[in-house]
A and B are shown apart, each in its own frame.
Chain A
Amino acid sequence: MNEERAWYLLSVQLSGEATPEEGEELHALLSQHPEWGLRADIIRNMWNNRQVSRPVAPGHFDKHLQRLSNHLAQPALQFDSEGVETGTPVMEEESHRTRLRWLWGTTAAAACLLICFLVFWPPAKKPVKPLASNTISTRPGSKSKVELPDGTQVWLNADSKITYGQNFSGNTREVVLTGEAYFDVAHATSVETGQRIPFIIHTPSIDIKVLGTAFNVRSYPGESTTETALIRGSVEVTLHDNPDKKIVLKPDEKLIVRNDNATVVGMENEKNDGISNAANNVPMMMVSKLRAYKQDTGSHYETMWVKNKLAFENESFDRMLPEIERWYNVTIQLKNGSLNNLHFTGVFENKSLAEVMEALSLSRGFHYEINGAQVTIW
C-alpha cells in the first residue's frame, strides 16, 4: 500500500501537479524506503528524457500551405462533411446520413423549382439586382463623401448616386452606381466562413468586384464610356455583354468600356487616346495607364475631383462641357460645332465658373456668355 502511494506521488510530481505536501510526503516515503530509490531514479530519468525539440523540416509547412490554398479555393473541409459522431450507435448514424441525403435532395429540387419559377414566371423581370433600400445622391454642383456601414469610404462626384441593400453588412457588399465615385474599400471578412467578403459595384454596362482597394468609377448615363481607374489593390471587372470575360486591373491602370455595346474586341495599349476620337472610333474596350499629374506621383487626373480640383488632360471639348455642367450645375449651349475638336489640359482649384470660362476662352479664343445658370459658347 505504501509502495503504491509512493509511485502515485511520484507520477503526480513528475507531471508537475503535486502540491507541496505531496512532495514532502514522497520525500519522506523514499527516505524511509531506500530500496525504492533506484527505481524512482530510473523513472525520473525516463520521464525527463523527452525528445529535444527538433526543428520542423520546412517541407512540411510548404506542403501544408499548398493544401491550404487548395482548400481556400474550394472551401468545406474534407473531414468536416461528416460531423464528429463519437459514441453514436451505428443505426442512428445511418438514419442521420439518410435523412441528410433526403434533405439535400429536397433542397436541391426546391432550388430547381425556385430557379425555374424565377426564370420563367415573370417574363420581363430580372431578379439579379440587389434589393436597393439606401440611396445616397448628390445634386449637380455638389460633391459628397460618405462612409458605408462596412467602413468603405465613398466620394460622390456631382450628379451621382449610389444605392445599397439593407443586408449590406452581411455576407455581401453590393452597391449600384450612377455617375462618378471614388471608392476606398475597407477589408471585410465573413464571421461564419472566414472568407473575405467581396465588394461589388454594379453599373449599367459593367460589374466591378474588389476585396479591398481604392479606385474611381465613372459611369454617367449620358456619356459614351464607363471608366474604372485603379489607384491601388486589384479589381476584377465583368462586362455585362460578355460575362465570361473577366478583366483584372493592376494599380495605375484604367479600363474604358464603351457603353452602347460593351463587348470585348481587343485590348489597345496606352498612348492610344481613345477618348479624343469620335465615338465611332472608340474601341469597345481598352486598358490604358492612368494619367499622372505632373511630377506629383500620387495624383492622377482621374481622381483630382476627389480633392476638389476640376482637372482636364488633353480632354476634348464635348467631353469637358458635361463635366463643367455638373461641376457648376449649369447648362452649356455650344453654338459652334467645330469647337468640339478643341482639346484642353489644365487644373482648376477653387475657381468660379466665370474664372474657368475666362481661362478657357483666352487660351482657345472663343466667345462665351454666362447668364445665370445658362452658358452660351460660340
Chain B
Amino acid sequence: MNDPNHLRSLQERIALYEDMQAYHELYNLFFHNLHRFCFSFVKSAEAAEEIVSDVFIKLWQIRNKLPEITNLKVYLYQIAKNFCLNYITRHFKNPVTSLDEINIETVISLDNPEELCISADLINTIQQTIRQLPPQCRLIFQMVKEDGMRYKEVADVLQVSVLTVRNQVAIATKKIAETLPAYIGQRQRAEGKR
C-alpha cells in the first residue's frame, strides 16, 4: 500500500487491460485500512464494508481515468471519506459540517502487551487517553500511525493543512507521554525488560 511504484503499475494494468488480478490485488492492499478508516466514521463493520465496496465500484467505473490520478491512496481515502459523510447524513438526518462533530471511533492497535513491554493496565490507560482526544486529532493519529500515511497525504484527504496534521500528531503523542510512568514501578506497574 505504501509502495507508489507498485500502486502505479496496478493503476495502469487496470486502466489499460481491465486487469481483474490487479484490481483484486488493489482491493486486498487497501481493504483493512479503508475498512478501519470507514469504521471510524460509521461505527458498523457491515456499513464500512459496503462503503469500501462502493469505493472500489467507483474505481472500476472511472478505470479509464486511473492513470491521471497521481496519488491513488489519497484518492481512495477521499472517496471513502465522502461516502462515509454521505452515509452519516442519510442515516442520522443531520448534515455533517465538520469532522469534529462526528463521534469518530478510532482503532489504535495495541495488541501484544508482551511485545510492548508494558502491562495490560497501561494499555488501558493509553487507550483511555486516546479516546479522550478530540475526534479529528484521533483520526489523524490513526491515519499516521496505523496506515503509515504521510502528513501531506492525511492533509489532502481531510482537507486540513500539513501543519494541522503535524500538530495533532504531536498533541496525541504528548498526551500519551503524560499518562505514562517515568520510572518502572512508578504509579502503574510498568513491567519491562529494561
Q: Which A residues contact B (CB, under 8 angstroms)?
A: 4, 7-8, 10-12, 14-17, 35-36, 38-43, 45-47, 49-51, 53-56, 60-61, 63-64, 67-68, 71-72, 75, 77-80, 82, 84-90, 93, 189, 191, 193-194
Question: Is B85 within 8 A of A194, CB to CB?
Answer: no
Residues of A within 8 A of B118 (CB): 42, 45-46
Q: In this complex, what residue of A is CB-closest to B107?
A: A51
Q: How far is the CB of B172 from chain A (nearest CB, A)?
A: 7
Residues of A within 8 A of B52 (CB): 64
Residues of A within 8 A of B85 (CB): 84, 86
* A interface: dominant SS: helix
Q: Is B4 an interface residue (CB 8 A)?
A: no
Binding-face segment, B5-13, B53-61, B69-77: B53-61
Residues of B within 8 A of A80 (CB): 58
Q: Which of A12, A38, A47, A56 has most B Cβ within 10 Å?
A: A38
Q: How far is the CB of B152 from chain A (nearest CB, A)?
A: 9
Tell me, in angstroms, the Cα distance from A67 to B110 when the chains sit together. 34
Q: Is B3 an interface residue (CB 8 A)?
A: no
Q: Is B160 an interface residue (CB 8 A)?
A: no
* B interface: dominant SS: helix
Residues of B within 8 A of A17 (CB): 150-151, 166
Question: Is B117 within 8 A of A42, CB to CB?
Answer: yes
Residues of A within 8 A of B176 (CB): 43, 46
Residues of B within 8 A of A60 (CB): 27, 31, 49
Tell me, in angstroms, the Cα distance from A274 to B57 when the chains sit together. 47
**Residue among B28, B57, B95 making CB contact with A77, cutoff 8 Å:** B57
Tell me, in angstroms, the Cα distance from A87 to B27 when the chains sit together. 30
Give B155-183 interface residues, CB cut-off 8 Å to A.
166, 169-170, 172-174, 176-177, 180-183
Residues of A within 8 A of B122 (CB): 42
**Residue among B49, B98, B174 making CB contact with A4, cutoff 8 Å:** B174
Question: Is A61 within 8 A of B27, CB to CB?
Answer: yes
- Enumerate 10 A-B pairs (CB-CB under 8 Å) in ascending A order: A7-B173, A36-B182, A42-B122, A42-B190, A43-B180, A60-B27, A77-B57, A84-B82, A86-B82, A86-B97
Residues of B within 8 A of A11 (CB): 166, 169-170, 172-174
Tell me, in angstroms, the Cα distance from A63 to B52 when the chains sit together. 11
**Residue among B53, B96, B181 making CB contact with A63, cutoff 8 Å:** B53
Q: Is B145 an interface residue (CB 8 A)?
A: yes
Q: How far is the CB of B46 from chain A (nearest CB, A)?
A: 11
Residues of A within 8 A of B63 (CB): 194
Tell me, in angstroms, the Cα distance from A40 to B118 when the chains sit together. 13
**Residue among A39, A45, A51, A193 making CB contact with B182, cutoff 8 Å:** A39
Question: Is B145 within 8 A of A12, CB to CB?
Answer: no
**Residue among B82, B110, B169 making CB contact with A49, cutoff 8 Å:** B110
Q: How far is the CB of A53 from chain B (nearest CB, A)?
A: 7
Question: Is B183 within 8 A of A38, CB to CB?
Answer: yes
Q: How far is the CB of B148 from chain A (nearest CB, A)?
A: 7
Task: Give 15 A-B pairs besides A49-B116, A78-B54 with Cβ atoms closer than 8 angstroms.
Answer: A10-B177, A15-B150, A43-B176, A45-B116, A50-B146, A55-B28, A56-B32, A67-B54, A68-B53, A77-B58, A79-B54, A82-B86, A88-B97, A189-B64, A194-B60
Q: Is B44 an interface residue (CB 8 A)?
A: no
Residues of A within 8 A of B32 (CB): 51, 53-54, 56
Q: Is B112 an interface residue (CB 8 A)?
A: yes
Tell me, in angstroms, the Cα distance from A55 to B27 when the chains sit together. 11
Q: How far is the CB of A195 from chain B (nearest CB, A)?
A: 8
* Known interface pairs A35-B183, A46-B116; A68-B110 also in contact (CB < 8 Å): no
